[in-house]
Structure 1
């Protein structure tokens, strides 16, 4: 399934501005430090987190085929520091399962180390149900939007890491 460009146009800036790791701060920063890693290893880890979230949904459906991407850490050297963003979507086999998918995430995420920091309707004209959760151990956040009025109805999911630093002598690989 292809992700609509309009969804990405809203989702990526939203993820970058609102998913700052609420409750996961290190050293007074809004974004937690995720340690040292190469871009590709960090992307693999964030994609594993996305896969775990997908498994928590526990329903059949179509998942977009998207890869993680490198973004900047605001206010830090872009050659040394980076974040990983993995946007994807899930359309359940039955549109009636959309609410079930969101309810399962709300219930299962806290059981797997996540803290729900926001849950309720968003500010869009559709008042989409949205959920934001942080995982302090993995230094990642997830933002899920239930897009019930889309065709097909889907969950829009953004998983974003804290700030990584590349190993000494290396530069951030952008993809």
Structure 2
């Protein structure tokens, strides 16, 4: 079954809300020089200032780091990050980066070990697992959600054993960036 672009457009805000609704936005001790919180009133944590192209490159490096932790042979889908407006912010000056990709193990029997490697290794690399367990689907797919405050990113990983072929589905999402003064977000 192919996923249409409209289905992806509808799913991205839900995943972004889920990811950025975790611990990335509940750190009330993070304050700026003016004493204000790193989180906006919308609850999405600030990721700093960047162009959307530079932030996209950074998000690909985050995804690549996650890929390196999988620890089993296989291949990743060929996808590029995209740009999403930050909730409650001006879409010309604020944005989030999302990178949806899949990992297909060389052997279906390696899917479980791939997820287990991520569960063990993500925390060793600055990630905090905030949710782990079966989802509510008929297949009861295993889901892991993790945040990395240093990278200002979150990841939602779904282990899809009953898919043909079996895969890990990953959605990596940044916090909310602001473009440099005088620039606009490059939406892609």
Interval containing the TM-score (normalised by the shorter chain): over 0.9
Q: Give the distance between the partners of 2:2 and 2:169, measured in 1 at CA.
A: 10
Per-residue displacement from partner, 1:83-127 (whole Å, max 9, x unpaired)? 000000001000000000000000000000000000000111111
Say if 2:161 is the partner of 1:163.
no
> Which residue of the partner structure matches residue 150 of structure 2?
137
In the TM superposition, 1:28-67 aligns within 5 A as 29=41, 30-67=43-80
From 39, 50, 65, the counterpart of 1:27: 39
Say if 2:81 is the partner of 1:83.
no
Gaps of 5+ in 2: 26-37
> Does the CA-based 8 Å contact 1:21-1:134 persist in structure 2?
no
Q: Give the distance between the partners of 1:131 and 1:115, measured in 2 at CA.
A: 10
Structure 1 position 14, deviation (Å):
3.5
Q: Give the distance between the partners of 2:171 and 2:93, measured in 1 at CA.
A: 23
TM-score by length of 2: 0.87
> Which residue of the partner structure matches residue 72 of structure 1?
85
Distance 1:88-1:11 versus aligned 2 partners, 3 A rule = farther
- The structure that has the greater radius of gyration is 2
TM-score by length of 1: 0.93
Query: CA RMSD for the aligned pairs?
Result: 1.8
Distance 1:123-1:49 versus aligned 2 partners, 3 A rule = same
Which is bigger in relative contact order (C-alpha 8 A, separation at least 6)? 1
Distance 1:6-1:59 versus aligned 2 partners, 3 A rule = farther
From 114, 120, 138, the counterpart of 1:125: 138
> Does the CA-based 8 Å contact 1:21-1:141 persist in structure 2?
no
How many residue pairs match? The answer is 173
Say if 2:3 is the partner of 1:5.
yes
Which deviates further from its counterpart, 157-166 or 24-33?
24-33
Q: Give the distance between the partners of 1:41 and 1:112, measured in 2 at CA.
A: 22
> Does the CA-based 8 Å contact 2:154-2:174 persist in structure 1?
yes
